[in-house]
């Protein structure tokens, strides 16, 4: 999307585009923490409901014997006490206070959710059961909420298509939680390492600098289509794929092709993945015949080089 924005704005420079890309990645990381905070806020609402029911002048038997499994969920307690989350939220001043209707809407959706009802009634009371429910809450309840999606778009233009990806990242994080890891449970870092951070910058920069070369390759390998008639997003997906193949010898060609075909399915038209796959296959074949790329290390997987 950063590459698309760069191509749509005539006054944009490479440093400005890189800065925008880095900022957008930072916003995605912010959303990752913001959704963890949302889990806590929903649990707080559930606790408030129990307290309010107990304070009734004539509480019912159900009011006096509330189901506390969700409120006492061990994973929520870990999230609440997590040092990394507390530090990040404090530094970014993240809060749902100005959008408090969202946690309440999601709480109401949750208590009417059959998955929640099954969890609350289950005879199995374990850490794994608690974790499984929170994972489903994030990946299913949050992901399916149009109210949440619309609100996130209103809060930041950088969050208009991040929900599915961030939910997947949260699932990976929560699966690593253990009953005895407590407040020091690791959250996902912004980048795995320096190499990961450099990859983003180099791929983006090289894709822009080599855009004309990539367009020529695409045009040459497109039958009955001029490059001007191909959808911009299709071109940009192929541009990134070509750049990755040429500039990153440690990444197998098959991995690159699979990744960008999936990206085409998400960002382009319904027929784009087949179209993109066909053109990239032709370009890779041309590269191999001309010896234009040399893979090394893990990048050798799937390649045949003479002894």
In angstroms, the CA 215 to CA 94 distance is 42
Return the H-helix or E-strand segment holding 118: helix 114-121
Return the higher-pLDDT residue of 53 and 197: 197
- What mean pLDDT comes out for the span 262-277? 86
Contact 83, 50 (CB under 8 A): no
Each residue of 231-240: pLDDT tens digit?
889 999 999 9
% of the chain residues with pLDDT over 70: 95
Q: Reduced to 3 states, what is the DSSP secondary structure of residue 249? A: coil
Q: With contact defined as beta carbons under 8 Å apart, do 226 and 219 qualify?
A: yes
In the chain, which residues fall in CATH 1.10.940.10? Answer: 194-300
Are 265 and 272 spatial neighbours (Cβ–Cβ below 8 Å)? yes
CATH says 194-300 is which class?
A: mainly alpha
pLDDT in tens, 187-198: 999 999 999 999
- Most confident listed range (33-47, 65-79, 237-251): 33-47
The mean per-residue pLDDT over the stretch 252-272 comes to 89
Instruction: Fill in the DSSP letter of residue 145.
Output: -
Question: What pLDDT was estimated at residue 52?
Answer: 81
Q: Is the pLDDT of residue 53 over 80?
A: no
> Cα–Cα–Cα angle for 115, 118, 162, nearest 5°?
20
What does the pLDDT read at residue 224? 65
**Of 129-133, 205-209, 266-270, which gets the smallest average pLDDT?**
266-270
Does position 306 have pLDDT exceeding 80, yes or no?
A: no
Alpha-carbon distance values, 109 to 74, 100, 120, 140 (Å): 21, 15, 15, 12
> Greater confidence, 79 or 67?
79
In contact, 263 and 27? CB cutoff 8 Å: no
CA R_g for the chain: 24
- Closest alpha carbon to 231 in 268, 258, 263: 268
Q: What is the pLDDT of residue 99?
A: 97
pLDDT above 90 (res 229): no
């Amino acid at each position: 999307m950063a590459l698309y924005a760069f191509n749509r704005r005539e006054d944009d420079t490479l440093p400005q585009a890189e800065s925008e890309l880095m900022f957008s990645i930072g916003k995605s990381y912010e959303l990752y923490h913001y959704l963890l905070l949302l889990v806590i806020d929903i649990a707080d609402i559930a606790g408030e409901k129990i307290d309010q029911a107990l304070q009734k002048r004539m509480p019912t038997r159900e009011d006096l014997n509330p189901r506390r499994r969700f409120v006492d969920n061990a994973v929520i307690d870990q999230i609440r006490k997590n040092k990394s989350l507390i530090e990040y939220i404090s530094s970014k001043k993240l809060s749902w206070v100005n959008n408090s209707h969202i946690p309440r809407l999601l709480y109401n959706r949750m208590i009417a959710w059959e998955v929640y009802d099954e969890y609350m009634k289950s005879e199995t009371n374990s850490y794994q059961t608690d974790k499984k429910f929170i994972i489903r809450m994030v990946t299913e309840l949050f992901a399916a909420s149009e109210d949440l999606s619309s609100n996130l778009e209103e809060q930041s233009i950088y969050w208009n298509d991040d929900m599915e990806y961030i939910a997947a990242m949260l699932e990976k994080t929560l699966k690593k939680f253990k009953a005895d890891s407590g407040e020091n449970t690791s959250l996902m870092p912004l980048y795995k390492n320096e190499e990961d951070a450099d990859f983003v910058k180099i791929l983006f920069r090289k894709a822009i600098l080599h855009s004309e070369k990539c367009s020529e390759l695409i045009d040459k390998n497109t039958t009955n289509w001029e490059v001007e008639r191909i959808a911009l997003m299709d071109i940009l997906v192929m541009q990134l794929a070509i750049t990755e193949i040429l500039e990153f010898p440690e990444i197998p060609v098959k991995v690159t092709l699979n990744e960008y075909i999936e990206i085409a399915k998400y960002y382009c038209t319904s027929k784009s993945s087949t179209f993109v796959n066909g053109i990239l296959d032709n370009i890779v074949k041309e590269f191999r015949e001309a010896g234009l790329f040399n893979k090394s290390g893990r990048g050798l997987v799937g390649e045949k080089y003479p002894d």
